[in-house]
Amino acid sequence: MKKTIIYIIVALALISIVVIRLKTNKETTVNRVYQYNKEQAINVQAITLKLESVKNDISYTGTFEPNKETRISADIQGKINSVLVDVGSAVRKGQALVQLDNSLLELQLQTIEIQIEGLEADVKRYTVLANADAIQGVQLEKTELSFKSAKVQKATLTEQINKTIITAPFSGIVTAKLTEEGAFSAPGIPLLQITDISSLKFTVNVPEQELSQFETNQQYALSADAYPETVLSGKVIMTGSKANMGNSFPVQFSVNNTADLKIKSGMFGNVQLKNKAEEKLIIIPASAIVGTNIQPQVFLVKNGKAILQNITTSNRFQNKVQVSSGLTEGDVIITNGFINLFDGANVTISN
């Protein structure tokens, strides 16, 4: 009995020691963890908004397209003996591009030339004999017709032989090679693609209310996104007569490429219209915007607190953004010090 009581006392003592030790460890852990004080003021940087004068130029984005582009095919059937150009080759109008096998046609041409030579001699002999009434005139007529037919056959073969050399229809760049030596050509089967980018077409889509800003045959300043420093002159050659699904109308420009053909087919560019009138706008640093692209927000400072405000943005000027709604002149917005900042936080401004 006494032993049992002793065991119980020892067990209770051990349990008490463990409980005390755990409580002590918990207090130590809590003391070591940093407890953020949400009432403590956060040091931030801020600016007071003013209306800024901006020339609100209008820009339309479009795509450069080649002035001329075609896929070349053969006019006759034949085996391809050689392809004389490759992708990226600059070609001139009339330059030979593909050579077809013409050996059989050459043999046929030689045969016809021999026939012509014989018929020509027959015509001369029969003419002398007919004048002397030694043969009937009908025999001379038949020989003359055969002679004319042979010359037509020669012209046909010569034309076919000429067509075995496929030439460039205009000057440009080979942008696609669709065949190789040893392949078989036939009418309608493309062999090469040639693109002329010495002059380009540039097309933009313009809302109907702004269509009146573009006049046919008038010159406008264009630039490619890849080369913004290069200013091109584009002449309006077409204004669409039918709107697309977005109720915009296509406006097409004719543009001369640079001497080194820097502007490529498919590049994006823009045409910019200068607006002489200045507007007073709310412009803020892009770094002041938080939230998402769908719903941009900024922190306002009101009565010493940070207030999260939804805004609507429009144009972007390098590292600045135009705000179309949500802010007014005189508002104070936070531009730096967003760490631990939350809606309703106490703030102090130090610029």
From 93-107, 117-131, 209-223, the region with the lowest mean pLDDT: 117-131
Residue 1 has pLDDT above 60, yes or no: no
pLDDT tier, 201 (very low <50, low <70, confident <90, very high otherwise)? very high
**Nearest CA among 181, 186, 31, 210 for reference residue 98:** 181
pLDDT tier, 65 (very low <50, low <70, confident <90, very high otherwise)? very high
CB 85, CB 167: distance < 8 Å: no
Separation CA 351–CA 283 (nearest Å): 19
**Nearest CA among 301, 313, 312, 283 for reference residue 341:** 301
- The mean predicted confidence, pLDDT, of the chain is 86
CB atoms within 10 A of CB 200: 26
Separation CA 212–CA 214 (nearest Å): 5
- How high is the pLDDT of residue 128? 80
CB 115, CB 184: distance < 8 Å: no
What is the arithmetic mean of pLDDT over 220-246? 90
**Nearest CA among 314, 350, 277, 321 for reference residue 49:** 321
307-343 per-position pLDDT tens digit: 999 999 877 776 888 888 899 999 999 999 888 889 9
pLDDT tier, 34 (very low <50, low <70, confident <90, very high otherwise)? very low
127-180 per-position pLDDT tens digit: 888 777 767 777 878 888 989 999 999 999 999 999 999 999 999 999 999 999
pLDDT tier, 96 (very low <50, low <70, confident <90, very high otherwise)? very high
What 3-state class would DSSP assign to 168? coil
Separation CA 301–CA 310 (nearest Å): 14
Residue 31 has pLDDT above 60, yes or no: no
Retrieve residue 232's tokens.
Answer: 């091109």
What 3-state class would DSSP assign to 270? strand
Q: What angle do CA 148, 129, 149 make, to 5 degrees?
A: 10
User: Which helix H or strand E contains 163, and what residues bound it?
Assistant: none
DSSP tag of 26: H
CB 347, CB 304: distance < 8 Å: yes
Separation CA 226–CA 257 (nearest Å): 14
Separation CA 227–CA 225 (nearest Å): 5
- How high is the pLDDT of residue 166? 95
Retrieve residue 160's tokens.
Answer: 């076919």
CB 332, CB 286: distance < 8 Å: no
Q: Return the higher-pLDDT residue of 216 and 33.
A: 216
How far, in whole angstroms, is CA 132 from its chain's centroid?
81
* 70, burial (CB in 10 Å: exposed 0-12, middle 13-18, buried 19+): middle
Q: What's the distance, Cα to Cα, between the start and end of the chain in Å?
A: 80
**Nearest CA among 239, 266, 270 for reference residue 60:** 270
Retrieve residue 334's tokens.
Answer: 């936070």
Predicted TM-score (pTM) of this structure: 0.56
> Which phi and psi angles does 120 have, rounded to 5°?
-65, -40
Residue 38 has pLDDT above 50, yes or no: yes
